[in-house]
A and B are shown apart, each in its own frame.
Chain A
Amino acid sequence: MEELIYHLTNILKEVSGYIYPNEIELHWGLLIVIYPYLTGLVAGAFILASLVKVFNVKELQQTYRLSLLTALSFLIIAPLPLLVHLGHPEKSFEIFLTPNKSSAMAMFGFVYAWYLMAVLLLEIWLDYRKDIIIWASSEKGIKKWIHKLVSLFSSDISERAIKFDKKAIKAITIIGIPSAFLLHGYVGFIFGSIKANPWWSSVLMPIAFLFSAMVSGIALVLLIYMVIYSWRPKGINMQCLDKMASYLFYVMIVDFSLETLDFIHRTYEAEESIKILAELVGGKLFVSLVVIQVLLGMIIPLGSIATAKLFKMPEELRKLIYFVSSILILIGIFSTRWNIVIGGQLFSKSFRGLTEYKMTIFGLEGLLVSIGIMLSPILILYVLTKILPPWEEVRNP
């Protein structure tokens, strides 16, 4: 009790204006910031992969498998922050047993399961199937059995079977794009439909979430590609990197326009919440929104990638710009999620005051757990690349 009072007293010092008593402490903390961030990375990475199969962008072939594995490793972890936040993870499967069709949150389980099983796992399995069979035939010991199990003991690598795989992959990717939109659009939908909160309640929310997801996903794959391939013997393929940067640039323009449109629309509409929102943006969210999200996460990367392209800068400089820009974008999009989730709870529904978010370091909702959750997809990706190497040179012709 004493600890609680100490905690609340500290927050109370930061409260300004008039707020309702149940608004002092935020209900959704850092874990709920991470959740849309992770699903966004998944959707973005998958859409990058689909560029190769559906839109036939040959330059990105090298990143196809890497994008799929990145999407899978982040998707496996995506529900974890929710489970940690809600507690009782052992009860989570009950949403599948007694589906509540009128709850958007409960339906997420099905969207997630569909995306994981019917899209991502299936596409990876079909794409790798031939290679896994060949690898298993020349391997020994545990690795052989892992590969045999992963291939579901399949053995048909006839031309007809491979042709079928390719056709099926294309079909799955085509289904996968709306599925990825659904997965991340859903997260925006949840926030967008909370009509009592003027910071969230906007029909643009799912679309804005989606485009920011694409931005973050492409930036993540670009970063992972640069880090991994700078250590690999084949090195970074500049054509591939330039193409990725171009797509990143185009999607960012759309995302930036959408966010600007949202901003203009809110300002023009000027509902009764506009004053408190202006105070929020100009005060408590100034650093995370104006400085990190817009300036560092959007304008500087947009400007630097445009300059790198426009002036045809030397290769090494371009690499440096892409590398720094993608890090800035990833931080910027994280900040976007922060500003939406935390920002939406900082102002009082009375529109007359602001509260404060105090992050804890220890505990389930704390910083350390969140860092652990954020790093675990990287670990999963490492294990996945050991079992299913995405490198071109191990691919069988």
Chain B
Amino acid sequence: MLSIWKKIPEQIKRLSFLVILIVAGYLLISPLFIPPDFGKYGHFRASAVEEIASQQMNYVGHEICANCHEDVSVIKSKGYHKNVACEVCHGPAFLHAEDPGSATLEAPRGRSYCTLCHEYLPSRPTGFPQIVAISHNPMKPCITCHDPHKPEPPVTPKECSACHATIARTLSISYHIYLPCTRCHETPEKHKINPREFTPSKPSTREFCGGCHSIDAKSDKGIPRIDLATHGHRYVCWQCHYPHLPEAK
């Protein structure tokens, strides 16, 4: 045993001593810093679950609301707001559920709350009901016309621009401003109520635009004309020309 010890170079002995010191230090210190219940369920403190669970609850979830407000819940479950939880508008309801008498909830009455979702924004999906609040019945609270539990417009929008504001603004400076949208887009009546399921059409033939723009079309003199037989090969006109702002400069 002694002969083996003698054969080990001196520097290795010293290094080994240092390594043993570091490893021993690590082993001694680590239990002091690792929480005893660490790793019981996963890479976290097991007691963290209880700590989080013991925190004061604020929200109860829409099922609890439905226990007492069944009538509203039934109406809402069939409307467009079926995926908007009650507490999104009425606020945290835990205290109210515990003691409905003393803790009452409020509903937003102002215009600014609904517009958080319904103000016009170009990045919102097409067909999502959007308004430009400044010009949409100014000063009138939303709930006077719309029932938030069954949000169907009392009158369906007369103008396409109610939802398609960007296109309407683009069109306003275009030569095509005097054409009604329905001249080019055949629009099913149900599109106004259910816009994504019933979509309007687009012109699918070259002859459609040719109705005004071909050489032999019977239309006003000032309208630019082309020979459909030679112009643009087989492409549909709107593949090259943007009809909402044709030949923009």
Contact = CB atoms under 8 A, between A and B. Distances in A.
B9 A98 contact: no
B34 A97 contact: yes
B34 A98 contact: yes
Interface stretch (A40-48, A151-159, A225-233, A339-347): A151-159
A57 interface: no
Contacts of A100: 43
Contacts of B12: 164
Interface in A93-132: 93-94, 96-98, 100, 102, 122, 125-126, 129
Contact of A164 (B9, B26, B38): B9
Interface of A: 18, 93-94, 96-98, 100, 102, 122, 125-126, 129, 152-156, 160-161, 164-165
A236 to B, nearest CB: 34
A18 B123 CA distance: 8
Given A18-B123, A98-B38, A98-B39, A156 B10 contact: yes
B49 interface: no
B103 interface: no
Given A98-B39, A122-B15, A152-B15, 16 more contacts: A18-B123, A96-B26, A97-B30, A97-B33, A98-B43, A100-B43, A102-B43, A129-B11, A152-B14, A152-B17, A152-B18, A154-B11, A155-B10, A161-B9, A161-B11, A164-B9
A65 to B, nearest CB: 18
Contacts, number: 39
A136 to B, nearest CB: 14
13 contacts: A96-B26, A97-B30, A98-B34, A98-B38, A98-B43, A152-B17, A152-B18, A153-B14, A154-B10, A154-B11, A154-B14, A161-B11, A164-B12
A100 B123 CA distance: 39
Nearest to A129: B11
Interface string B26-49: 100010011000110001000000
A155 B9 CA distance: 11
Interface residues of B, number: 17
Contacts of B34: 97-98
A97 B31 CA distance: 9
A196 B25 CA distance: 41
B45 to A, nearest CB: 10
B11 to A, nearest CB: 5
Nearest to A94: B33
A303 to B, nearest CB: 46
Nearest to A118: B19
A156 B33 contact: no
Nearest to A19: B123
A18 B166 CA distance: 15
Interface string B1-29: 00000000111101101100000001000
B11 A156 contact: yes
Contacts of A126: 11
Nearest to B38: A98
Contacts of B14: 152-154
